[in-house]
Every structure is written in structure tokens, then in C-alpha cells.
Amino acid sequence: MLAVLSPGQGSQKPGFLTPWLDLPGAGARLRWWSALAGVDLVHLGTAADADEIKDTARTQPLLVAAALLAAEHLPMHDVALTAGHSVGELGAAALAGVLPAESAVTLAGLRGREMAAACAVEPTGMAAVLGGDPDEVLAALAAHGLTAANRNGAGQMVAAGPVDALDKLAAEPPARARVIRLKVAGAFHTPYMAPAEQALAAVAAGITPADPGRVLLSNLDGSTVEHGREVVQRLVRQVTAPVRWDLCMRTLADLGVTAVIELPPAGTLAGLVKRELKGDGLPEIVTLNTPDDLPAARDLIARHGGPARHRPAAPFRVVLARSAGTFTPTDGLAEGGYVRSGQVVGQVTTRQGAVEVTAHDSGVLTEWLAHHDDPVAPGQPLARIGGQHV
């Protein structure tokens, strides 16, 4: 099985679209998408400097447009799976047939503008936390009132929250971990982005999506999503929910993906896949950065491609927190145990009291994703349930 991945914010480089403008029709396509996104994509992808393209309002539509532009030159009918990181999910949804390209670019423009506006409300930011024990890192973030906004696997986590809390984390890093401040405008994928989520939801409600034509993974919990309306709801929810790229990569392994193409600007997601899936299970990877890389990408599709032999149901279901607070699993409920739909699996203690967490499907509790006394945010995955649904 072959997967095509669409990168997210932070992967952009000055001038990275310049060679693509030599392809017939590319300039016209970008000018049309520029009108929809409200930014000059040709200028941003060719002549803009690093400071200009790190602006959230500009970067998000630029990345989605770049991925879609490159994918037009691939035999996508032989691609079985798509996934994207953060705003890259809009590109992945379009490549899966859920949204027209025009809708994806338009939503990326709106998403970028509204997230930039939300960043201006109060001083927040993000920092990469590299290395360290994951549980100790999460505990350190909680102690400083920060959120794990991105869990990228391969020893990489991104903390987000108030600037002063990030400063304290950098001064007191977790054991065996490095903290690197990121040059971003605010705390993406946290409740600080709630105004942007509301604005995106108001517009997305008018979209009539199609069901995915190929396997599509969700950043929310790494699961496959089968219905177009659910895809759109998840795209909106992801503005304030953590990005679980670690779970997406686990699903790539679970589904037996043998080859990966990362769309431009490529390199970041390919690096994470190499580090996380190293060994015998490492897929063959092509980073598609310029038209010169197209022959290698097409050859990879020819050797590993073809539509999925079946539309796999999600290999697992994920129980999500509905409120922010502290999570407590139900006593005696251990990994490997069977849970039924509607069964209480834990509770989140909030300022207003305890909120029960219930399973929406039956199956085996394969893994706890949050543990006793862990701080959790709304929409955060708490447990994975697999096996037979009844």
C-alpha cells in the first residue's frame, strides 16, 4: 500500500514553488487559487522571504496549494491512502475526494486568517521538546500549564501555551530533553484557537462533502475516516485539538504501508516516518520537492500503488475527552480487557466537577493514551479500543 502525505506549517522554504511554475498551467492554477485564498500564492511561493511566508495567514493556503499543485502531476488513482499534518489535512482531504481543491484552498485561507487573529488576543507560543521520557515530558508540561499540541513521535513533542510558561519550561527542561522555541505566532491546536474554530465551523457548515474515495487518516486520533461529513467536522475540531501524528504513523504501520510520497515542501514528515518506523517495517520514501522528483514518485506508485484492496474500517476506535481537566481511569479496567458501548471507562475532573467518559463502541481496550492524574484537553484521545464492534 502506498501513502501520499501532505506537510504542515513549518515545512515551507523561500522560493520552493519556483520550479513548479515552469510546468504548463501551474501559474494560472495558482492565480485562481490566490483569488480564493485571498493571498498571492505565486509571490509567496517564489519571491517572498522567510519572514513573509512564516505568517500563519499566508503559510496555510500556500502549503495546501503546493501539495495540490504537485499531486496533479501524479497518477493519484493508484494511491490508496492520504494523510496530512495539521493544515496539511485539508490537502489530504481534497486528494481523498472529500473536498474540491478550490474548497480546500479557500478553507486554508480562512483558517490561516482566523488563527492569526486568535494569536493576537494574548501572548502565546510553542516550543519543541526533543527527547526525554514521554510521560515525564507530559508531566512537565502539565506542571507549567502547557498543552502537548503536537505529538509527532520519534521523540518529538510540541508544547503550547502562554509565553511566560514556555520561558519557565525552557529554564527547567525535563530530564534528557531539549526545549527549542518555535517561531510561530501563537498556541496552535489548543483552546486558545477557539475563535478560529468557531469561524471555520460557520463556513464549513455550508460545504457538501463527499465520502473519501481512498483511505484517509485523521490527526485527531490516527484513525481512518469513512464519511465526508465526519471528515469536515474533524478538520474543524483540529484547530483546537492536539495533532496526533504519532498515531497516524502507527496506523501507517498497522495498515501495512510499504511506500510513502511526501508532497512539497517535503522532508519533515519523511524524516519523522524514517525515525519512527525504522527497521524492517520502514516504507520506501520519496520526497517530492521539484518536478525533477516526479519520475521517482511515479515509479514508486507504479511499484507499490493500486487502490486499496478493501476500504479498511478504522483498526481501532478512540475514546475522547469532552472537557478539560484531570483524567482518572476506571478502577480495575486494564489494557486487554473488553469494554462495551456505553461503559464508563473513566472520568475527567473539571472545575465544575467530575465528567464521566464512556466508550462509544465495544471491543478490546488495546491501549491507554492517558493515565491516572494526567491533564487532558477537550478532544484529546484517552484510550484506543480495537477488535470486534458489537
Residues annotated catalytic, as ranges:
86, 189
The dihedrals phi and psi of 161, each to the nearest 5 degrees, come to 155, -160
| Chain position carrying cell 519571491 | 47
Helix (H) or strand (E) holding 30: helix 26-37
Look up residue 74 and give its amino acid. L
Query: Residue 234, SS3?
Result: helix
Who contacts 285 (Cβ-Cβ below 8 Å, separation ≥6)?
259, 260, 261, 262, 270, 273, 274
Who contacts 18 (Cβ-Cβ below 8 Å, separation ≥6)?
45, 46
Cα–Cα dist 18/351, whole Å: 52
H-only helix segments in 172-227? 194-204
- Which sign, positive or negative, has the C-alpha torsion 250, 256, 259, 264? negative
- What is the Cα gyration radius of the chain? 20
